Amino acid sequence: MLEQFRHDLHQIPELGLDTQKTADYIVSVLQELDCSISMPLSNAVIAYFDFGKEETMAFRSDMDALPIHEQNAFSFRSKNGCMHACGHDGHMSMLLGLAQKISGRKDMKYNALLIFQPGEEDPGGAQLLCDAGIFGPYDIKGLFGFHIYPNRKTGEIVSCPGVMMAGACNLKVSVVGEASHAAMRECGHDALLAAAQVVSRCAKREQEMFDEDTFHLLHFGVFESGDAFNGEQEMFDEDTFHLLHFGV
């Protein structure tokens, strides 16, 4: 069933918090199982398996996809301009598989809370779920999230003490200069040049701040500035420089 779950979910990728079709699919699977289902946020799905224990183990999967046009040729590829390019279809499939595995069991040591979270890529669905108080009714012993690593051997589970993966922190930075014609650049202040120096210096500073044994990640996703080659005044009232996907 895991393969079928992934194929089905791969065909309906959705962005951010707008994961209605995905949530509907998850609910359609869970409603056949011995669990209670709730939606503390729109398009977020929570499944609780009550085994009569005092403590609960929680497991979390992300739901959202990326705005990437899929170019694969297999039959279950997405066709809506989005794609599960980060493996969230696999994560949901594993959590649904776990739900099927534990449903109706009598020998579990803990209750189980399964969390299907939208908005992992953006805008931060985990915090929204925490703010909604999803853990309040339960005595949570531990919370597990997971991610697919295609370069590991099949069936191998990898973990480590402490921090294992970077936390994403999205930034949008505007560098505002004073516009002028390209032939009279001394009359203005070049925001594009300043922004390029920011990118360059940040990359250099990253290498200086961390040793090779410290995991770190700095990524510049989008860089935009104006739309006129000659820098006409009316086109350069505000040059905008964007930084996306910054995480350490």
How far is Cα 97 from Cα 239, in angstroms, rounded to an integer? 49
Instruction: Tell me if residue 70 is catalytic.
Output: no
Instruction: Tell me if residue 131 is catalytic.
Output: no
Q: Which residues pair with 197 in a beta bridge?
A: none
Phi, psi of 49, rounded to the nearest 5 degrees: -105, 110
Residues making up the chain, counted from first to last: 248
Query: DSSP for 71-113?
Result: ---STT---SS-B--SSHHHHHHHHHHHHHHHTT-S--SSEEE
- Structure letter (DSSP) for residue 15: -
Phi, psi of 20, rounded to the nearest 5 degrees: -65, -50
Catalytic residue among 64, 89, 120, 121: 121
Residue 119: name the closest of 190, 60, 193, 33 by CA.
Answer: 60
Residue 3: name the closest of 115, 90, 103 by CA.
Answer: 90
Place of tokens 């908005």: 119
b (16+ CB within 10 A) / e for 88-109: bbbbbbbbbebbeebeeeeeee
Catalytic residue among 62, 64, 70, 89: 62
Residues tagged active-site: 62, 121
